[in-house]
Amino acid sequence: MRFDVLTLFPEIFSGYLTQSLLKLAIDRDLASVHLHNLRDYSKGKHKEVDDRPFGGGPGMLLKPEPTIDCVEAVQADPSAGGPGRLLMLTPQGRRLDQPYVEDLAQSPRLLLLCGRYEGFDQRITDLLQPEEVSIGDYVLNGGEVAAMTIIDAVVRLEPGVLGDETSSQEDTFSRAGRNLEYAQYTRPREYRGLAVPEVLLSGDHEAIARWREQNAAERTQQRRADLLPAASRSDQPAADTTN
Ligand code: ADE
C-alpha cells in the first residue's frame, strides 16, 4: 500500500512515520509513505502557495497552480504503479467511517492532499475532482492530522500489519459486527477492589464468548444506540410524540 501525502508541512509526519505499527509496516515493506511539499511546486519568487480570497473574508486560500502542479506530478510518477485515488482533506468532505476506510484499503495507492489556511481555491476541486474527505464535524488547522488518521486506519487493515490476522475484523465498527467492543481485562485479577469478571477466568470458552457478546451488546445500547438497527434499540418510543 502506497501513500503520497501532499502538504505544506511534511515535518509534521516525521515522528509518526518512525513509531509503532506504521514503522513496522514500512520496515516490512507492507506500506510506504512519500511526502511531497506543495511549496516545491511554486514558481513564485517567494515560493508563495497561498493568497487572499477574492471578495474579501478572513484567511488565505491555497492557490491553484502549485497545488495542481504538485498533484499532477505525483500522480504521473512512473515508479508508483498508477495514478491512485486522490483524497482532499476538508471539513466539507464525506465523513470518514470504518466502511469507507475498508473501501480505501482496497486501493494500492492513496494520494492525500492536505489543506492549510482557510481552504482550497475552488478550481483545485473542480479540476482535480478529488474525493473530499472529512474526519469529523470540527475544523482542524490543516489536513495533516486528518491524513495521518486515514493512513493509521487504513494501514492496520493491510494483511500482515497486525500480529493477529483476525483482530482488525473484530474491531469495533468493522463490517462483520457493528457492536462496540466488549470490556477487556488483564492482570492483576483484583485492583483497588475491582475484580475481573469470574467467567473470564473460568476457561469455559463458550461461556466467555456469550459474556463478551452480551457485554458488547449492552455497551452499544448504552453508548452508541445509533449504531444499532432501529428495531433493536431499547430507547425506541412506541410512537414519536416529540413533534
Ligand atoms: N481540515 C480541516 N478540518 C478537517 C476535518 N475535519 N477533516 C479533514 N480535513 C480537515
Task: Indicate if 62 and 117 belong to the same structural domain.
Answer: yes
Domain that holds residue 228: 190-232
Confirm whether 156 is a catalytic residue: yes
Report ipTM (2 d.p.). Answer: 0.99
Take atom 6 of ligand 1 and give the residue whose Cα is closest. Answer: 91
Atom of ligand 1 nearest to the CA of 138: 6
Give me ligand 1 centre to Cα 103, in Å: 20
Residue 129 C-alpha cell reads as 475532482
CA distance 194 to 192: 6
The owner of cell 474526519 is 135
Task: Indicate if 147 and 68 belong to the same structural domain.
Answer: yes
Task: Indicate if 196 and 149 belong to the same structural domain.
Answer: no
pLDDT, one tens digit per residue, over 73-110 is 999 999 998 999 999 999 999 999 999 999 999 999 99
Task: Indicate if 125 and 205 belong to the same structural domain.
Answer: no
Give me ligand 1 centre to Cα 130, in Å: 15
Cis preceding-peptide flag for 108 (omega within 30 of 0): no
Task: Indicate if 24 and 83 belong to the same structural domain.
Answer: yes
Residue 173 C-alpha cell reads as 465498527
Q: What's the order of all strands across the beta sheet hosting 119-120?
A: 50-51, 61-62, 119-120
Q: pTM score, two decimals? A: 0.90
Residue 129 lies in a domain: yes
Confirm whether 171 is a catalytic residue: yes
CA distance 67 to 120: 9
CA distance 186 to 206: 19
Residue 25 lies in a domain: yes
Task: Indicate if 194 and 136 belong to the same structural domain.
Answer: no
